[in-house]
C-alpha cells in the first residue's frame, strides 16, 4: 500500500496565444488527441513528436478520457479557428499564388498515384 499517494500534475499549459501545449514542448494538445482518435498508441505518438515523453502522452490521454466533453469542445474550437484561417488565406491568394497552389496540389496527387 502506498501511504500517501502522490498527486499527479497533468502536463498541459496554455501559451501566450491561448493554445494548449503538452508539457514544455510546442506540441499542441489537439495533435495528440487527433493522433489518439486515429488509433495511434502513446508510443507511436511519441515517435511522431519526439519532444514528448511517453509518460506525458499517457497522462494527457488519461486526462482526456476523464474529461472528454471539455477537451472535445476545445479541439472543435481549435479546428474551427484553423479552418477559418485557411479559408481567409485562400481567399487572399493572388492569381499567381493560386496558380502555383493548383500546380503543387496536382503534383502531390501525381506523386500519390505513383506509390
Give percent above pLDDT 70 in the chain: 100
State the pTM of this model. Answer: 0.76
Summarised one tens digit per residue, pLDDT across range 54-80 is 999 999 999 999 999 999 999 999 999
Cβ count near 74 (within 10 Å): 16
Using the predicted structure, report yes or no on whether residue 12 has a pLDDT greater than 80.
Answer: yes
Using 50, 70 and 90 to split pLDDT, how confident is the model at 31? very high
Q: Does domain 12-114 have CATH number 1.10.10.10?
A: yes
Q: Give the domain ranges of the chain.
A: 12-114
Average pLDDT, the chain: 94
Cβ count near 13 (within 10 Å): 13
Query: CA–CA separation, 65 vs 92, rounded Å?
Result: 39
Amino acid at each position: 500500500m502506498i501511504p500517501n499517494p502522490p498527486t499527479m500534475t497533468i502536463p498541459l499549459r496554455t501559451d501566450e496565444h491561448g493554445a494548449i501545449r503538452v508539457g514544455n514542448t510546442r506540441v499542441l494538445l489537439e495533435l495528440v488527441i487527433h493522433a489518439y482518435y486515429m488509433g495511434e498508441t502513446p508510443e507511436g505518438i511519441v515517435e511522431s513528436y519526439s519532444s514528448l515523453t511517453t509518460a506525458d502522452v499517457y497522462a494527457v490521454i488519461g486526462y482526456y478520457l476523464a474529461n472528454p466533453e471539455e477537451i472535445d469542445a476545445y479541439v472543435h474550437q481549435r479546428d474551427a479557428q484553423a479552418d477559418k484561417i485557411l479559408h481567409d488565406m485562400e481567399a487572399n491568394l493572388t492569381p499567381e499564388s493560386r496558380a502555383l497552389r493548383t500546380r503543387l496540389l496536382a503534383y502531390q496527387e501525381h506523386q500519390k498515384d505513383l506509390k
